[in-house]
Structure 1
Protein backbone atom coordinates (compact mmCIF):
# COMPACT_ATOMS: atom_id res chain seq x y z
CA UNK A 1 0.00 0.00 0.00
CA UNK A 2 1.20 3.50 -0.86
CA UNK A 3 -0.35 6.39 1.09
CA UNK A 4 -0.14 9.94 -0.26
CA UNK A 5 -1.32 12.83 1.90
CA UNK A 6 -2.41 15.76 -0.27
CA UNK A 7 -3.34 19.18 1.08
CA UNK A 8 -3.56 22.86 0.25
CA UNK A 9 -2.54 25.31 2.93
CA UNK A 10 -2.02 29.03 3.23
CA UNK A 11 1.42 30.63 3.39
CA UNK A 12 1.12 30.51 7.19
CA UNK A 13 0.22 26.83 7.28
CA UNK A 14 -3.57 26.95 7.73
CA UNK A 15 -6.05 24.62 6.02
CA UNK A 16 -9.05 26.90 6.61
CA UNK A 17 -10.18 29.75 8.85
CA UNK A 18 -10.86 29.60 12.59
CA UNK A 19 -14.53 29.17 11.66
CA UNK A 20 -13.58 25.94 9.85
CA UNK A 21 -15.02 27.37 6.65
CA UNK A 22 -13.63 26.14 3.35
CA UNK A 23 -11.36 28.72 1.71
CA UNK A 24 -10.16 28.70 -1.91
CA UNK A 25 -6.40 28.45 -1.40
CA UNK A 26 -5.36 26.97 -4.74
CA UNK A 27 -6.34 27.70 -8.33
CA UNK A 28 -7.20 25.88 -11.56
CA UNK A 29 -3.73 24.37 -12.06
CA UNK A 30 -3.78 22.76 -8.65
CA UNK A 31 -7.41 21.65 -9.01
CA UNK A 32 -6.40 19.77 -12.18
CA UNK A 33 -3.43 18.19 -10.37
CA UNK A 34 -5.67 17.02 -7.52
CA UNK A 35 -8.19 15.58 -9.97
CA UNK A 36 -5.40 13.61 -11.67
CA UNK A 37 -4.21 12.32 -8.30
CA UNK A 38 -7.75 11.21 -7.49
CA UNK A 39 -8.01 9.42 -10.82
CA UNK A 40 -4.73 7.62 -10.14
CA UNK A 41 -5.90 6.40 -6.71
CA UNK A 42 -7.78 3.32 -5.54
CA UNK A 43 -9.30 5.19 -2.59
CA UNK A 44 -9.65 8.71 -1.20
CA UNK A 45 -9.62 9.04 2.60
CA UNK A 46 -10.94 11.84 4.80
CA UNK A 47 -11.77 12.26 8.46
CA UNK A 48 -15.33 12.76 9.65
CA UNK A 49 -14.53 16.39 10.53
CA UNK A 50 -13.99 17.11 6.83
CA UNK A 51 -17.30 15.42 5.99
CA UNK A 52 -19.18 17.47 8.60
CA UNK A 53 -17.53 20.76 7.61
CA UNK A 54 -17.43 20.50 3.80
CA UNK A 55 -19.73 17.61 2.76
CA UNK A 56 -17.30 16.60 -0.03
CA UNK A 57 -18.25 14.31 -2.88
CA UNK A 58 -14.69 13.09 -3.54
CA UNK A 59 -15.14 12.04 -7.15
CA UNK A 60 -13.10 12.56 -10.31
CA UNK A 61 -14.35 15.63 -12.19
CA UNK A 62 -12.62 15.47 -15.59
CA UNK A 63 -14.55 13.25 -18.00
CA UNK A 64 -11.36 12.31 -19.86
CA UNK A 65 -9.86 10.98 -16.62
CA UNK A 66 -13.03 9.00 -15.98
CA UNK A 67 -12.78 7.56 -19.51
CA UNK A 68 -9.18 6.52 -18.84
CA UNK A 69 -10.27 4.68 -15.68
CA UNK A 70 -12.98 2.86 -17.65
CA UNK A 71 -10.48 1.85 -20.35
CA UNK A 72 -8.25 0.44 -17.62
CA UNK A 73 -11.15 -1.65 -16.33
CA UNK A 74 -11.61 0.43 -13.20
CA UNK A 75 -14.71 2.03 -11.72
CA UNK A 76 -15.41 5.62 -12.77
CA UNK A 77 -14.33 6.89 -9.35
CA UNK A 78 -12.03 5.58 -6.65
CA UNK A 79 -13.53 4.24 -3.44
CA UNK A 80 -14.15 6.76 -0.67
CA UNK A 81 -13.19 6.20 2.95
CA UNK A 82 -14.32 8.09 6.05
CA UNK A 83 -12.43 7.66 9.32
CA UNK A 84 -15.26 8.15 11.81
CA UNK A 85 -14.69 6.67 15.27
CA UNK A 86 -18.20 7.44 16.57
CA UNK A 87 -20.14 6.95 13.31
CA UNK A 88 -21.17 10.60 13.05
CA UNK A 89 -21.31 10.67 9.24
CA UNK A 90 -24.78 11.99 8.25
CA UNK A 91 -26.89 9.53 6.27
CA UNK A 92 -27.49 12.19 3.61
CA UNK A 93 -23.79 13.05 3.21
CA UNK A 94 -22.68 13.42 -0.41
CA UNK A 95 -19.93 10.87 0.17
CA UNK A 96 -22.57 8.17 0.75
CA UNK A 97 -24.19 8.45 -2.67
CA UNK A 98 -23.93 5.66 -5.24
CA UNK A 99 -21.21 7.29 -7.37
CA UNK A 100 -18.62 4.97 -5.82
CA UNK A 101 -18.15 2.45 -3.04
CA UNK A 102 -17.75 4.11 0.36
CA UNK A 103 -16.12 2.61 3.44
CA UNK A 104 -16.75 4.08 6.89
CA UNK A 105 -14.16 3.12 9.50
CA UNK A 106 -15.62 3.13 13.02
CA UNK A 107 -14.57 2.02 16.49
CA UNK A 108 -16.35 -0.16 19.03
CA UNK A 109 -17.74 2.92 20.84
CA UNK A 110 -19.78 3.97 17.79
CA UNK A 111 -23.50 3.76 18.66
CA UNK A 112 -25.14 0.63 17.26
CA UNK A 113 -28.04 2.62 15.75
CA UNK A 114 -25.61 4.87 13.87
CA UNK A 115 -23.69 1.86 12.59
CA UNK A 116 -26.87 0.17 11.41
CA UNK A 117 -27.95 3.32 9.56
CA UNK A 118 -24.57 3.64 7.86
CA UNK A 119 -24.42 -0.05 7.00
CA UNK A 120 -27.26 0.52 4.55
CA UNK A 121 -25.24 3.10 2.64
CA UNK A 122 -21.61 2.06 3.06
CA UNK A 123 -19.23 -0.77 3.87
CA UNK A 124 -18.40 -0.63 7.58
CA UNK A 125 -14.90 -1.34 8.86
CA UNK A 126 -14.77 -1.72 12.65
CA UNK A 127 -11.26 -1.34 14.04
CA UNK A 128 -10.26 -0.13 17.49
CA UNK A 129 -11.92 0.26 20.89
CA UNK A 130 -12.52 3.98 21.53
CA UNK A 131 -11.04 5.35 18.29
CA UNK A 132 -10.27 3.92 14.89
CA UNK A 133 -7.11 1.84 14.88
CA UNK A 134 -5.65 3.12 11.62
CA UNK A 135 -3.19 0.27 11.18
CA UNK A 136 -5.97 -2.30 11.40
CA UNK A 137 -8.38 -0.25 9.30
CA UNK A 138 -5.85 0.31 6.50
CA UNK A 139 -4.90 -3.37 6.56
CA UNK A 140 -8.59 -4.19 5.98
CA UNK A 141 -8.75 -1.71 3.11
CA UNK A 142 -5.67 -3.29 1.57
CA UNK A 143 -7.36 -6.69 1.75
CA UNK A 144 -10.11 -5.15 -0.39
CA UNK A 145 -7.53 -4.42 -3.08
CA UNK A 146 -7.07 -0.74 -2.23
CA UNK A 147 -3.35 -0.12 -2.69
CA UNK A 148 -3.02 3.48 -3.92
CA UNK A 149 -4.42 5.65 -1.15
CA UNK A 150 -4.93 9.43 -1.33
CA UNK A 151 -5.64 11.28 1.93
CA UNK A 152 -7.37 14.67 1.68
CA UNK A 153 -7.53 15.65 5.35
CA UNK A 154 -8.20 17.04 7.77
CA UNK A 155 -5.43 17.93 10.16
CA UNK A 156 -6.44 15.53 12.95
CA UNK A 157 -6.42 12.56 10.58
CA UNK A 158 -3.16 13.59 8.93
CA UNK A 159 -1.41 13.80 12.30
CA UNK A 160 -2.79 10.40 13.30
CA UNK A 161 -1.53 8.86 10.05
CA UNK A 162 1.96 10.24 10.63
CA UNK A 163 1.77 9.01 14.21
CA UNK A 164 0.89 5.51 12.97
CA UNK A 165 3.72 5.55 10.43
CA UNK A 166 1.34 5.11 7.51
CA UNK A 167 2.33 8.08 5.35
CA UNK A 168 4.64 7.41 2.39
CA UNK A 169 4.40 10.76 0.61
CA UNK A 170 3.24 14.30 1.42
CA UNK A 171 2.19 16.70 -1.31
CA UNK A 172 1.33 20.24 -0.23
CA UNK A 173 0.25 23.21 -2.31
CA UNK A 174 1.21 26.39 -0.44
CA UNK A 175 -1.05 29.20 -1.59
CA UNK A 176 -0.55 32.99 -1.57
CA UNK A 177 -2.87 33.73 1.35
CA UNK A 178 -2.38 34.46 5.04
CA UNK A 179 -5.29 33.21 7.17
CA UNK A 180 -3.97 33.44 10.73
CA UNK A 181 -5.74 32.46 13.92
CA UNK A 182 -4.47 30.24 16.73
CA UNK A 183 -7.61 28.13 16.41
CA UNK A 184 -7.47 27.70 12.64
CA UNK A 185 -6.70 24.10 11.60
CA UNK A 186 -3.20 23.29 10.42
CA UNK A 187 -1.80 20.54 8.25
CA UNK A 188 -1.21 18.23 11.22
CA UNK A 189 -3.26 18.93 14.33
CA UNK A 190 -3.93 16.37 17.04
CA UNK A 191 -1.70 16.16 20.10
CA UNK A 192 1.50 16.91 18.21
CA UNK A 193 4.89 15.27 18.55
CA UNK A 194 7.11 16.03 21.55
CA UNK A 195 10.04 13.93 20.34
CA UNK A 196 11.05 11.66 17.46
CA UNK A 197 9.56 13.97 14.86
CA UNK A 198 8.86 12.42 11.45
CA UNK A 199 11.48 13.56 8.96
CA UNK A 200 10.84 14.20 5.28
CA UNK A 201 12.94 14.27 2.13
CA UNK A 202 12.02 16.94 -0.41
CA UNK A 203 11.70 15.26 -3.81
CA UNK A 204 10.09 18.01 -5.89
CA UNK A 205 9.38 21.74 -5.81
CA UNK A 206 7.20 23.30 -8.49
CA UNK A 207 5.76 26.76 -8.94
CA UNK A 208 2.00 26.86 -9.66
CA UNK A 209 0.81 30.41 -10.25
CA UNK A 210 1.71 32.45 -7.18
CA UNK A 211 1.93 29.33 -5.04
CA UNK A 212 4.21 26.32 -4.82
CA UNK A 213 3.73 22.57 -4.80
CA UNK A 214 6.10 20.74 -2.47
CA UNK A 215 6.47 16.96 -2.52
CA UNK A 216 8.17 15.08 0.30
CA UNK A 217 8.88 11.41 0.85
CA UNK A 218 8.90 10.01 4.37
CA UNK A 219 11.79 7.96 5.71
CA UNK A 220 9.90 4.73 5.05
CA UNK A 221 8.13 5.89 1.88
Structure 2
Protein backbone atom coordinates (compact mmCIF):
# COMPACT_ATOMS: atom_id res chain seq x y z
CA UNK A 1 0.00 0.00 0.00
CA UNK A 2 1.32 3.43 -0.97
CA UNK A 3 1.26 5.99 1.85
CA UNK A 4 1.11 9.63 0.73
CA UNK A 5 1.52 12.25 3.44
CA UNK A 6 -0.14 15.55 2.56
CA UNK A 7 0.03 18.69 4.67
CA UNK A 8 -0.09 22.48 4.58
CA UNK A 9 2.33 24.40 6.75
CA UNK A 10 3.33 28.00 7.30
CA UNK A 11 6.59 29.40 5.99
CA UNK A 12 8.10 28.64 9.41
CA UNK A 13 6.91 25.02 9.38
CA UNK A 14 3.84 25.22 11.64
CA UNK A 15 0.60 23.30 11.05
CA UNK A 16 -1.46 25.55 13.33
CA UNK A 17 -1.04 27.98 16.23
CA UNK A 18 0.03 27.10 19.76
CA UNK A 19 -3.68 26.87 20.60
CA UNK A 20 -3.89 24.05 18.01
CA UNK A 21 -6.75 25.82 16.31
CA UNK A 22 -7.26 25.31 12.59
CA UNK A 23 -5.72 28.09 10.50
CA UNK A 24 -6.27 28.65 6.77
CA UNK A 25 -2.77 28.29 5.36
CA UNK A 26 -3.52 27.43 1.74
CA UNK A 27 -6.05 28.81 -0.73
CA UNK A 28 -8.77 27.50 -3.07
CA UNK A 29 -6.43 26.00 -5.65
CA UNK A 30 -4.60 23.95 -3.03
CA UNK A 31 -7.88 22.87 -1.44
CA UNK A 32 -8.96 21.61 -4.87
CA UNK A 33 -5.65 19.78 -5.29
CA UNK A 34 -6.17 18.13 -1.89
CA UNK A 35 -9.71 17.14 -2.84
CA UNK A 36 -8.39 15.51 -6.03
CA UNK A 37 -5.79 13.59 -4.01
CA UNK A 38 -8.51 12.38 -1.66
CA UNK A 39 -10.61 11.29 -4.62
CA UNK A 40 -7.76 9.19 -5.95
CA UNK A 41 -7.09 7.49 -2.62
CA UNK A 42 -8.75 4.46 -1.08
CA UNK A 43 -8.59 5.89 2.42
CA UNK A 44 -7.77 9.14 4.24
CA UNK A 45 -6.09 9.02 7.64
CA UNK A 46 -5.62 11.42 10.55
CA UNK A 47 -4.55 11.12 14.16
CA UNK A 48 -7.00 11.48 17.02
CA UNK A 49 -5.47 14.86 17.93
CA UNK A 50 -6.69 16.23 14.61
CA UNK A 51 -10.17 14.81 15.28
CA UNK A 52 -10.31 16.41 18.72
CA UNK A 53 -8.98 19.78 17.53
CA UNK A 54 -10.70 20.19 14.15
CA UNK A 55 -13.56 17.65 13.95
CA UNK A 56 -12.81 17.01 10.23
CA UNK A 57 -15.26 15.29 7.89
CA UNK A 58 -12.64 13.97 5.43
CA UNK A 59 -15.09 13.67 2.54
CA UNK A 60 -14.90 14.97 -1.03
CA UNK A 61 -16.16 18.45 -1.81
CA UNK A 62 -16.54 18.08 -5.59
CA UNK A 63 -19.76 16.26 -6.65
CA UNK A 64 -18.17 15.35 -9.99
CA UNK A 65 -15.35 13.53 -8.21
CA UNK A 66 -17.91 11.71 -6.10
CA UNK A 67 -19.77 10.67 -9.25
CA UNK A 68 -16.54 9.53 -10.90
CA UNK A 69 -15.81 7.26 -7.95
CA UNK A 70 -19.30 5.78 -8.19
CA UNK A 71 -18.74 5.20 -11.92
CA UNK A 72 -15.69 3.12 -10.92
CA UNK A 73 -17.93 1.07 -8.60
CA UNK A 74 -16.36 2.71 -5.57
CA UNK A 75 -17.99 4.54 -2.68
CA UNK A 76 -18.58 8.26 -3.24
CA UNK A 77 -15.99 9.07 -0.57
CA UNK A 78 -12.80 7.28 0.45
CA UNK A 79 -12.71 5.32 3.69
CA UNK A 80 -11.75 7.38 6.73
CA UNK A 81 -9.13 6.16 9.23
CA UNK A 82 -8.25 7.47 12.70
CA UNK A 83 -5.11 6.46 14.61
CA UNK A 84 -6.42 6.53 18.17
CA UNK A 85 -4.48 4.42 20.66
CA UNK A 86 -6.84 5.05 23.58
CA UNK A 87 -10.10 5.21 21.60
CA UNK A 88 -10.69 8.87 22.46
CA UNK A 89 -12.61 9.71 19.27
CA UNK A 90 -15.93 11.31 20.34
CA UNK A 91 -18.96 9.27 19.30
CA UNK A 92 -20.53 12.42 17.84
CA UNK A 93 -17.48 13.30 15.72
CA UNK A 94 -18.28 14.09 12.11
CA UNK A 95 -15.83 11.42 11.00
CA UNK A 96 -18.25 8.80 12.39
CA UNK A 97 -21.29 9.84 10.36
CA UNK A 98 -22.68 7.61 7.62
CA UNK A 99 -21.12 9.54 4.71
CA UNK A 100 -18.31 6.98 4.50
CA UNK A 101 -16.92 3.95 6.29
CA UNK A 102 -14.59 4.76 9.18
CA UNK A 103 -11.85 2.60 10.70
CA UNK A 104 -10.45 3.45 14.13
CA UNK A 105 -7.01 2.03 14.89
CA UNK A 106 -6.60 1.33 18.62
CA UNK A 107 -4.14 -0.38 20.94
CA UNK A 108 -4.73 -3.14 23.48
CA UNK A 109 -4.75 -0.45 26.19
CA UNK A 110 -7.92 1.20 24.86
CA UNK A 111 -10.72 1.03 27.46
CA UNK A 112 -13.36 -1.57 26.66
CA UNK A 113 -16.22 0.86 27.17
CA UNK A 114 -14.71 3.28 24.65
CA UNK A 115 -14.26 0.51 22.08
CA UNK A 116 -17.86 -0.58 22.56
CA UNK A 117 -19.07 3.00 22.20
CA UNK A 118 -17.18 3.48 18.95
CA UNK A 119 -18.44 0.18 17.55
CA UNK A 120 -21.99 1.20 18.48
CA UNK A 121 -21.41 4.43 16.55
CA UNK A 122 -20.59 2.47 13.41
CA UNK A 123 -16.78 2.48 13.48
CA UNK A 124 -14.76 -0.53 12.42
CA UNK A 125 -12.06 -1.22 15.00
CA UNK A 126 -8.56 -2.48 14.24
CA UNK A 127 -6.48 -3.41 17.29
CA UNK A 128 -2.69 -3.43 16.95
CA UNK A 129 -0.01 -2.78 19.58
CA UNK A 130 0.05 -2.78 23.37
CA UNK A 131 0.14 0.81 24.62
CA UNK A 132 0.23 2.62 21.26
CA UNK A 133 -1.07 1.68 17.84
CA UNK A 134 1.47 -0.46 16.01
CA UNK A 135 1.18 1.34 12.70
CA UNK A 136 2.99 -1.30 10.65
CA UNK A 137 0.56 -4.01 11.76
CA UNK A 138 -2.49 -1.76 11.51
CA UNK A 139 -1.66 -0.60 7.99
CA UNK A 140 -0.99 -4.19 6.95
CA UNK A 141 -4.54 -4.96 8.04
CA UNK A 142 -5.86 -2.13 5.87
CA UNK A 143 -3.79 -3.37 2.95
CA UNK A 144 -5.36 -6.82 3.32
CA UNK A 145 -8.73 -5.06 3.15
CA UNK A 146 -7.78 -4.05 -0.39
CA UNK A 147 -6.51 -0.49 0.09
CA UNK A 148 -3.85 0.49 -2.47
CA UNK A 149 -3.31 4.15 -1.55
CA UNK A 150 -3.60 5.78 1.86
CA UNK A 151 -3.58 9.58 2.09
CA UNK A 152 -2.42 10.94 5.46
CA UNK A 153 -3.51 14.44 6.47
CA UNK A 154 -1.85 14.81 9.89
CA UNK A 155 -1.25 15.80 12.48
CA UNK A 156 2.41 16.12 13.35
CA UNK A 157 2.51 13.22 15.83
CA UNK A 158 1.08 10.78 13.30
CA UNK A 159 3.31 12.04 10.49
CA UNK A 160 6.41 11.62 12.66
CA UNK A 161 5.33 8.10 13.65
CA UNK A 162 4.86 7.08 10.02
CA UNK A 163 8.33 8.30 9.08
CA UNK A 164 9.78 6.67 12.19
CA UNK A 165 8.24 3.34 11.18
CA UNK A 166 9.43 3.71 7.58
CA UNK A 167 5.87 3.64 6.25
CA UNK A 168 5.69 6.93 4.32
CA UNK A 169 6.33 6.69 0.57
CA UNK A 170 5.72 10.30 -0.47
CA UNK A 171 5.40 13.72 1.13
CA UNK A 172 3.41 16.53 -0.45
CA UNK A 173 3.59 19.75 1.52
CA UNK A 174 2.13 23.13 0.66
CA UNK A 175 4.17 25.96 2.17
CA UNK A 176 1.98 29.00 2.67
CA UNK A 177 2.86 32.70 3.05
CA UNK A 178 2.28 32.95 6.80
CA UNK A 179 4.47 33.10 9.88
CA UNK A 180 2.77 31.50 12.89
CA UNK A 181 5.59 31.05 15.38
CA UNK A 182 5.41 29.61 18.86
CA UNK A 183 7.67 26.94 20.34
CA UNK A 184 4.59 24.93 21.30
CA UNK A 185 2.85 25.18 17.93
CA UNK A 186 2.64 21.83 16.12
CA UNK A 187 5.05 21.25 13.27
CA UNK A 188 4.97 18.96 10.26
CA UNK A 189 6.60 16.14 12.22
CA UNK A 190 6.39 16.30 16.01
CA UNK A 191 6.81 13.21 18.17
CA UNK A 192 10.14 12.56 19.88
CA UNK A 193 12.19 13.70 16.91
CA UNK A 194 15.14 12.06 15.23
CA UNK A 195 18.69 12.36 16.55
CA UNK A 196 20.27 10.03 13.99
CA UNK A 197 19.30 8.07 10.90
CA UNK A 198 17.20 10.93 9.64
CA UNK A 199 14.72 9.99 6.89
CA UNK A 200 16.05 11.15 3.53
CA UNK A 201 13.78 12.74 0.94
CA UNK A 202 14.26 13.28 -2.78
CA UNK A 203 12.66 16.39 -4.28
CA UNK A 204 10.47 15.24 -7.16
CA UNK A 205 8.58 18.42 -8.08
CA UNK A 206 8.01 22.07 -7.18
CA UNK A 207 4.84 23.91 -8.16
CA UNK A 208 3.54 27.38 -7.34
CA UNK A 209 -0.06 27.27 -6.10
CA UNK A 210 -2.09 30.21 -4.80
CA UNK A 211 0.46 32.41 -2.97
CA UNK A 212 2.59 29.49 -1.84
CA UNK A 213 4.52 26.54 -3.17
CA UNK A 214 3.83 22.80 -3.29
CA UNK A 215 6.82 20.57 -2.66
CA UNK A 216 6.65 16.90 -3.63
CA UNK A 217 9.19 14.53 -2.14
CA UNK A 218 9.67 10.81 -2.55
CA UNK A 219 11.03 8.94 0.46
CA UNK A 220 14.32 7.21 -0.22
CA deviations over 1:148-206 (Å, ceiling 9, x no partner): 10000000000000000000000000000000000000000000001000000000000
Deviations 1:112-155 (A, max 9, x none): 00000111220000000000000000000111111110000000
SS at match of 1:205: strand
| Secondary structure of the structure 1 residue equivalent to 2:56 | coil
Mark the runs of 5 or more structure 2 residues left unpaired by the alignment.
Answer: none
Q: RMSD over aligned Cα, in angstroms?
A: 0.4
Distance 1:83 1:209 in 2: 31
Residue 76 of structure 2 corresponds to 76
Alpha-carbon separation, structure 2, partners of 1:202 and 1:144: 31
| Long gaps (5+) in structure 1 | none
SS in 2 for 1:33: helix
Matched-pair contact (CA < 8 Å) for 2:86–2:111? yes
| d(CA) in 1 for partners of 2:50, 2:84 | 10
Distance (Å, rounded) in 2 between the aligned partners of 1:75 and 1:210: 33
Poorly superposed stretches of 4+, deviation over 6 Å: none
Shift of 1:108: 0.6
- TM-score by length of structure 2 reads 0.99
- What CA distance in whole angstroms lies between the structure 2 residues aligned with 1:33 and 1:187? 19
Q: How many residues align?
A: 219
Q: State whether residues 45 and 153 of structure 2, in contact with CA within 8 Å, keep that contact through their aligned partners in structure 1.
A: yes
Matched ranges for 1:175-194 at <5 A? 175-194=176-195
| TM-score, L = length of structure 1 | 0.99
